[in-house]
Amino acid sequence: MHQHFHLLHTWRWFGPDDPISLTEIRQIGVIDLVSALHHIPCGEVWTVEEIARRKNTIEKVNLRWTVVESVNIHESIKTASPEREVYIEKYQQTLRNLARCHIHTVCYNFMPVLDWTRTHLSYLMPDGSYALRYDPVALAAFELYMLKREAAETIYTKEEKERAHGYLQSLSATEKNRLQQTILAGLPGTDEVFSPEEFRKYLEIYQDIDAAALRENLIYFLQQVIPVAEEVGIRMCIHPDDPPFSVLGLPRVVSTEQDLDYILKAVPSMHNGLTFCTGSLGAHADNDLPGIIRRLGDRIHFLHLRNVQREKDGSFYEADHLEGSVDMYGVMKAALEEQYKRVQQQRPDVAIPMRPDHGHQMTFDADRNYYPGYSAIGRLKGLAELRGLEMGIRKSLFE
Ligand code: DNO
């Protein structure tokens, strides 16, 4: 077997406001970038002019804009409010405009209101670096005693409430404030944080939307958008929920293999695909990650590789890329086997885009103000390790 294939190594760049410059990225050994027009309000059309402007900035230093992460979905689509038709049309137009600019892979998620959720952004690791963490006790303390979400009263046991209350009492005013800011932070790439009042209004809207309704709204969206993606040659890839379970009473429908399978079957098109995020899916102990790649791999258009360490108390933190609860060797091997299949099937998309997702904040990272998880040295360490793992497996299995 002499096959030469490799994953397409990419790097997420948040645009001109990203503290890492394009000339620095060139030295990382990656030429394909993942980017988005974060300055355009969620739901509005990305015009050809705006897309081309970002593209030119990237191409001027001989890099490429290969993947869009993300074209975010307007809340009206998630809640099926009457304006959704307008926003679906705008979404379709954005896809057409991206294709005109030769960008063909688009990541998005379908998490209500908040994107990803963590309780701690600077969790001290034994080696002195910092990681992101999710602690259900801290989350409970916030929703019970700070947000005062009434329905939350019924979901926790007496012991859980006591633990959460004890936790709250251990926090200083500054720490409480930081917890609130961390949980209510909006989309990555923005500095927006919801106020508890704003957030409560959103929660009210979702009172009548359970998981089944949200799923229906997702499928409705896909039914309108995937035909356009097919027509213009865009691979849509949905990002799993992070974390992969309901948080603050909001429904989540992209958390398990069953969820993914349902979405893929409901709109059976190669253009309706997945972003396989090992960190998100890996926070759920039941998700068999290499198995999901073996079973659903032909629809994976984008890989986010990072690790999480799940702990007995239900918390998790982001571990080094090759350590933690995710079997990264098994994931990489399954991804390369998927590539091998694609070679044999003569598919044009053998080089699946992959990016090291998140990294610890370590050494010189403290000198710059990165978006949480998007440090330079920490991510570069992850990428370097993943590249080595990939090469070792590829050479031993396929060359
Ligand atoms: C966090 C990211 C997510 C992801 C979006 C995809 O670092 O993995 O924010 O970009 O959810 O739409």
Tell me the CA–centroid distance for residue 396 and ligand 1, in Å.
33
Tell me the CA–centroid distance for residue 116 and ligand 1, in Å.
7
Q: Which atom of ligand 1 is nearest to the CA of 70?
A: 12
Q: Which atom of ligand 1 is nearest to the CA of 188?
A: 9
| Residue in the block written with tokens 């040659």 | 233
Decide if pLDDT at 189 tops 70. Answer: no
- The mean-pLDDT minimum among 10-19, 179-188, 214-223, 344-353 falls in 179-188
Q: Which atom of ligand 1 is nearest to the CA of 72?
A: 12
CA-nearest residue for atom 3, ligand 1, is 116
Q: Of all residues in the chain, what percent carry a pLDDT higher than 70?
A: 98
Question: Is pTM, for the whole model, over 0.85?
Answer: yes
Q: How far is CA 41 from CA 35, 74, 90, 114, 364, in A?
A: 15, 9, 12, 15, 33
Q: Could you tell me which of 186, 202, 76, 187 has the C-alpha nearest to residue 149?
A: 202
Q: pLDDT (tens digit, 9 = 90+) per residue, 52-84?
A: 999 999 999 999 999 999 999 999 999 999 999
Would the CB of 186 count as within 6 Å of ligand 1?
A: no
Cβ-in-10-Å burial (0-12, 13-18, 19+) of 332 comes to buried
Name the residues annotated as catalytic.
239, 277, 304, 357-358, 374
Q: Strand, coil or helix: what is 162?
A: helix
Tell me the CA–centroid distance for residue 299 and ligand 1, in Å.
19
HSE-CB for 224 with a 13 A CA cutoff: 16
Q: pLDDT (tens digit, 9 = 90+) per residue, 248-280?
A: 999 999 999 999 999 999 999 999 999 999 999
Q: How far is CA 317 from CA 75, 122, 213, 346, in A?
A: 29, 10, 31, 39
Report pLDDT for 248: 94
Q: Which atom of ligand 1 is nearest to the CA of 275?
A: 6
Tell me the CA–centroid distance for residue 70 and ligand 1, in Å.
7
Decide if pLDDT at 1 tops 60. Answer: no
CATH of domain 8-116+201-398: 3.20.20.150
Q: pLDDT (tens digit, 9 = 90+) per residue, 124-160?
A: 999 999 999 999 999 999 999 999 999 999 999 999 9
Tell me the CA–centroid distance for residue 252 and ligand 1, in Å.
15
Decide if pLDDT at 19 tops 60. Answer: yes
Would the CB of 255 count as within 6 Å of ligand 1?
A: no
Would the CB of 116 count as within 6 Å of ligand 1?
A: yes
Substitution site in 69, 108, 358 for ligand 1 pocket (most atoms within 8 Å of beta carbon): 69
Would the CB of 107 count as within 6 Å of ligand 1?
A: yes
Tell me the CA–centroid distance for residue 154 and ligand 1, in Å.
30
Please state the domain extents for the chain. Answer: 8-116+201-398, 120-197
Would the CB of 108 count as within 6 Å of ligand 1?
A: yes
Would the CB of 115 count as within 6 Å of ligand 1?
A: yes
Would the CB of 239 count as within 6 Å of ligand 1?
A: yes
Would the CB of 109 count as within 6 Å of ligand 1?
A: yes
Report pLDDT for 42: 94
Would the CB of 69 count as within 6 Å of ligand 1?
A: yes
Mean pLDDT of 348-372: 95
Would the CB of 372 count as within 6 Å of ligand 1?
A: no
Decide if pLDDT at 205 tops 80. Answer: yes
Q: Give me the chain's average pLDDT, please.
A: 95
Tell me the CA–centroid distance for residue 125 and ligand 1, in Å.
23
- In DSSP terms, 236 is beta-bridged to 106, 272
Q: Which atom of ligand 1 is nearest to the CA of 108?
A: 12
Phi/psi for 45 (5° steps) reads: -70, 135
Angstrom distance (rounded) from CA 34 to CA 51: 13
